Amino acid sequence: MAALEAALAFARHQHAAFVNDLSEFVRFPSVSAQPGHAADVARCATWLAAHLSAIGLQRVRVIKTRGHPVVIGTWLNAPGKPVLLLYGHYDVQPADPPDEWRDPPFAGVVRDGHLYGRGSSDDKGQVLAHIKAIQCYLKTSAALPVNVVCVVEGEEEIGSRHLPAVLREGAIHADAAVVSDMPMASADQPAITLGMRGALSFEVEIRGPRRDLHSGLFGGAVLNPAHVLCRLVAGLEDANGVVSAAGFYDGVRERSRAERAQIAADGPTDVQIAEAAGVKRLWGDPRFSTYERTTIRPALIVNGLTAGYQQAGSKAIIPSRATAKVSVRLAVDQDPRAVAEALSRHLRTRCPPQVRLRLRWQSGARAAEISGSHPLVRLAVAACRASFGQCPALLHCGGTIPIVDVLQRQMGIPVLMLGFAHPDDGAHAPNERFSLSTFTRAIATSVHLLALMGGTEIPEGCL
Amino acid sequence: MAALEAALAFARHQHAAFVNDLSEFVRFPSVSAQPGHAADVARCATWLAAHLSAIGLQRVRVIKTRGHPVVIGTWLNAPGKPVLLLYGHYDVQPADPPDEWRDPPFAGVVRDGHLYGRGSSDDKGQVLAHIKAIQCYLKTSAALPVNVVCVVEGEEEIGSRHLPAVLREGAIHADAAVVSDMPMASADQPAITLGMRGALSFEVEIRGPRRDLHSGLFGGAVLNPAHVLCRLVAGLEDANGVVSAAGFYDGVRERSRAERAQIAADGPTDVQIAEAAGVKRLWGDPRFSTYERTTIRPALIVNGLTAGYQQAGSKAIIPSRATAKVSVRLAVDQDPRAVAEALSRHLRTRCPPQVRLRLRWQSGARAAEISGSHPLVRLAVAACRASFGQCPALLHCGGTIPIVDVLQRQMGIPVLMLGFAHPDDGAHAPNERFSLSTFTRAIATSVHLLALMGGTEIPEGCL
């Protein structure tokens, strides 16, 4: 246990330096969705690769794709030990609306025990915790308890389109994977995520007249694309959020009474969910609990609407086109392609002949799930107990990490989903932040997990 | 008739100079709706006042309001003759989307017999035609056949809010008014507008969570303001555009069979309306003709939609708010206040309790109508015949000029609506233009109209 203790002690001493590293990481505006930030994404990848080399990882590569690069670093000098793939992403969500940020979104400001900035929690702080754990071992013992392959991609927020090919063509092999890109149960209690939803994004565009028309001269004579868009979007689901498209729910896994009871026991209460969302009243299909609705049931969400005049005052036009950005969260066993077809049929059938409907499908990922009794989960429970002083919650999560399904199905390995984001960190929202005390404990968790993975015996856990 | 002939000859000689004046007028980006253009609106008013003084109008004033100024100039040296109020506006619609313009929208470029630019047709070209007619008389005869008061406002596109008070407090008196801010029947046939619709604009805002939420974590648990907006907007009318709000149609004037037949005979065909709109298929309430739907029937139009993420790619959020800009065109005898109440009740009743609804009412104006047998209309018919070589069409128009109702009801005078815009000039759309041959004929029409107004006898017309 000397190596473990030395690594933990190093982590305690280096706290300030590690926070500086995180701040530097957050200061890259590596927004993968916005073409204008492509150079920033590339600079962030270069910085990360240099960082992985500096801490002692080997064969560090920045692998170019048709999109944003993947950064890979390995340490494979523990013969006979398993190979653990550590997955994370260095790309971030867009930072708009900019005027709702207290600090500039890419300043990496430390205040009140948190580091603020877009990507601080999702996912730079989480992935850096594992990298720092590796650094702690390599600086103190010049060795790791297990073999590791760090895979940090730049396209998670836009669907991880190129990573599967990189893993395949790079002949990346591993025995298990850890993905840390999800929330804890609370600010103090860590969580292991047993399931995540899949996702599917698309844009609905309605085109009408070739140009905007004067609404006085033509109002009543020409079908308004903005009105059609509202009608089609409103018609996608009922007032409770139950999707109306025939076939949409095909394949959604039915849960047994016992399974639902276990999920309910493990998950947050309605009050906790409402608090995390900052809303007074929740909403949704009354046949399922709020927690079920956000985790094991699919949901359709309008992410954006754009049509016509959007500035101050009014403008008397019938807009020539209108668009909605929509995404769907998929339940386990839902096929993204079948869901896309169901929605497409629904929309095309309902689009009136005076306008043209165009659908642009952007990404699709299946949901993922691991059993709570899997050995990997049991090791992680023990690691969390050692670092946080309490057992992790076993959660289902409504978010999507397409790569989890890729790792499980393409590489055929179990995936541990171990998250360090607080529910109120504001992932995807303005003023995103990451708790620095959680950063410290996440590093310790990773130090313990690496040790446990390298051991032969599974310690007594909470399970 | 010497003065008339001299004025017409002067107009012919000065054609190039008059086009230059119009180009200069169009080059002011006098966008009244956008606060950023307030200084441009003011500069345009100053230029216009200087121009009115230069052509010989008297007591020219730029009258400040809480919004944009009104420019007034008079010539009252024809004792015993009627006072004619010439109304127009120097403010213009916003010029977005800027990338759909072939030329910069405020360049005032002449090409293919047209002057291109935002406001060229609506309304700078039309109001300048009357000003040029006055110039023709004053330069050749140093007198006008009638007394005139030119009133050119800067808030027509945002509801003419301050003009009524300016007219009242300025003790402006007149015997009749001419408003030129509407379309011709075709590129060759002028038109007198017998009726215009009223208007009412509002913004619907739906507010949900305090901040944008991660759509994976909360999709299914928190009601989406963008979805509510779509549902409420879609629910405002049926698929044919029949408004669903109870009480909306209260007071709409019923037309006799004879009246509808006359309107149908005078108005454009469906093919002509579709061509002017640039669409293949028309749309609307099948109980009325397309022409009726755009003129004597009310219509509800979504002018803009804004919610959440609008840039490239996708962003996984539940937006915290969503807004729609909506306008209503009102039929004769519809009360804007009652319509606002009906729509407000409809929306409030249907807004679910998880979100907040906010309505911002922006402007309201009643519809206006004049009889086709009114003497003022008969004089204008004769003036058109003299200048265009054919009788004007007698039209109903779907647009709104709030000031017509103000002039009729507040000042108690008849209002002649005599338009010079071509149906395909692109008012309110990119690449707006004004035909220069129509500019010439509009000046001649005004020259004739002033002469006829100054005479005692109504000549044989087309009626």
Residue B18, SS3 per DSSP: helix
Measure CA of the first residue to CA of the last residue in chain B; give whole Å. Answer: 23
Measure CA of the first residue to CA of the last residue in chain A; give whole Å. Answer: 23
**Residue A221 confidence (pLDDT) above 70:** yes
Please report the pLDDT score of residue A283 as a whole number: 98
Is B115 within 8 Å of B19 (Cβ atoms)? yes
Q: Does residue A412 sit within a domain? A: yes
Radius of gyration from C-alpha coordinates of chain B: 23
Q: Is A244 on the interface with B (CB under 8 A)?
A: no
Are residues B19 and B138 located together in one domain of the fold?
Answer: yes
Q: Does residue B293 sit within a domain? A: no
* CB proximity list for B188: less than 8 A, separation 6 or greater: B388, B390
Burial pattern B416-426, b for ≥16 Cβ within 10 A else e, equals bbbbbbbbbbb
Are residues B337 and B218 located together in one domain of the fold?
Answer: yes
DSSP β-bridge partners for residue A178: A86, A416
Is A68 within 8 Å of A38 (Cβ atoms)? yes
Which ipTM did the prediction report?
A: 0.80
Rounded distance, CA B136 to CA A335, Å? 76
Domain at B330, CATH number:
3.30.70.360
Are residues A218 and A305 located together in one domain of the fold?
Answer: yes
Q: Does residue A426 sit within a domain? A: yes
DSSP code at position B47: H
Domain at B114, CATH number:
3.40.630.10
In A215-318, where does DSSP find H-type helix? 215-218, 225-234, 257-266, 270-277, 290-293
**Residue B75 confidence (pLDDT) above 90:** yes
Overall average pLDDT of the A35-50 stretch: 97
Please report the pLDDT score of residue A458 as a whole number: 44
**E strand or H helix that includes residue A308:** strand A299-308
Rounded distance, CA B123 to CA B88, Å? 7
Higher pLDDT, B463 or B424: B424
Are residues B81 and B132 located together in one domain of the fold?
Answer: yes
Q: Which of B221, B276, B299 minimises the CB distance to A293?
A: B221
Percentage of chain A surpassing pLDDT 90?
86
Pairing, β B83-89 against β B147-153: parallel
* CB proximity list for B320: less than 8 A, separation 6 or greater: B207, B208, B209, B210, B211, B212, B213, B225
Rounded distance, CA B82 to CA A145, Å? 102
Rounded distance, CA B441 to CA A305, Å? 45
A219 with B329: Cβ contact below 8 A: yes
Residue A366 vs residues A197, A251, A253, A336, A376: alpha-carbon distances, Å: 7, 12, 13, 6, 21
Please report the pLDDT score of residue B69 as a whole number: 98
Q: Is B252 on the interface with A (CB under 8 A)?
A: no
Are residues A391 and A338 located together in one domain of the fold?
Answer: no
**Which residues of B fall within a CB distance of 8 Å from A32?**
313
Rounded distance, CA A278 to CA B411, Å? 55
Q: Does residue A285 sit within a domain? A: no
Residue tagged 């990338």 (tokens) = B99
Rounded distance, CA A135 to CA A139, Å? 6
Rounded distance, CA B300 to CA B316, Å? 32
Overall average pLDDT of the A389-395 stretch: 93
B313 with A426: Cβ contact below 8 A: no
* CB proximity list for A129: less than 8 A, separation 6 or greater: A180, A420, A439, A442, A443, A445, A446
Give the gap in angstroms from C-alpha B241 to the nearest C-alpha of chain A: 7
**E strand or H helix that includes residue B437:** helix B436-454
DSSP code at position A443: H
**Which residues of A fall within a CB distance of 8 Å from B305?**
226, 229-230, 305-308, 310, 322
**Residue B83 confidence (pLDDT) above 90:** yes
Q: Does residue B280 sit within a domain? A: no
Rounded distance, CA B123 to CA B181, Å? 6
Are residues B228 and B328 located together in one domain of the fold?
Answer: yes
Q: Which of A282, A300, A397 minimises the CB distance to B222?
A: A282
Are residues B144 and B29 located together in one domain of the fold?
Answer: yes
Are residues B312 and B438 located together in one domain of the fold?
Answer: no
Give the gap in angstroms from C-alpha B144 to the nearest C-alpha of chain A: 35
CA angle centred on A26, ends A24 and A31, rounded to 5°: 135
Query: pTM for this structure?
Result: 0.80
Residue A375, SS3 per DSSP: helix
Q: Is B220 on the interface with A (CB under 8 A)?
A: yes
Rounded distance, CA B458 to CA B217, Å? 76
Long-range contacts of B128-131, Cβ-Cβ distance < 8 Å, separation of 24 or more: B128/B18, B128/B21, B128/B22, B128/B25, B128/B88, B128/B439, B129/B180, B129/B420, B129/B439, B129/B442, B129/B443, B129/B445, B129/B446, B130/B86, B130/B88, B130/B178, B130/B180, B130/B446, B131/B51, B131/B52, B131/B55, B131/B86
Give how many domains chain A has, as a whole number. Answer: 2
Q: Does residue B427 sit within a domain? A: yes
Please report the pLDDT score of residue B183 as a whole number: 87
A398 with B216: Cβ contact below 8 A: yes
Q: Does residue A269 sit within a domain? A: no
Q: Does residue B258 sit within a domain? A: no
Q: Is A331 on the interface with B (CB under 8 A)?
A: no
Q: Which of A209, A229, A309 minimises the CB distance to B325?
A: A309
Token pair belonging to A78: 């523990």
Overall average pLDDT of the A420-438 stretch: 93
Q: Is B216 on the interface with A (CB under 8 A)?
A: yes
- pLDDT band for B142, please (50, 70, 90 cuts): very high
Overall average pLDDT of the B95-101 stretch: 89
Token pair belonging to A335: 């096929």
Residue numbers of B between 374 and 413 with CB closer than 8 Å to A: 397-400
Kindly report the backbone phi and psi dihedral angles of residue B110, in degrees, each rounded to the nearest multiple of 5, phi listed first.
Answer: -100, 130
Are residues A382 and A328 located together in one domain of the fold?
Answer: no
Domain boundary among A364, A386, A407: A364
Rounded distance, CA B101 to CA B113, Å? 18
Nearest Cα neighbor of B174 from B447, B458, B412, B450 is B412
Are residues B373 and B322 located together in one domain of the fold?
Answer: no
A215 with B312: Cβ contact below 8 A: no
Give the gap in angstroms from C-alpha A299 to the nearest C-alpha of chain B: 5
**Residue A459 confidence (pLDDT) above 60:** no
Host domain of residue B64: 2-196+367-454
Rounded distance, CA B446 to CA B463, Å? 19
Are residues B80 and B122 located together in one domain of the fold?
Answer: yes
Residue A349 vs residues A232, A235, A296, A353, B9: alpha-carbon distances, Å: 10, 12, 29, 10, 63
- In this structure, of A377-391, A446-460, B81-95, B385-399, the range with the lowest mean pLDDT score is A446-460
Are residues A353 and A375 located together in one domain of the fold?
Answer: no
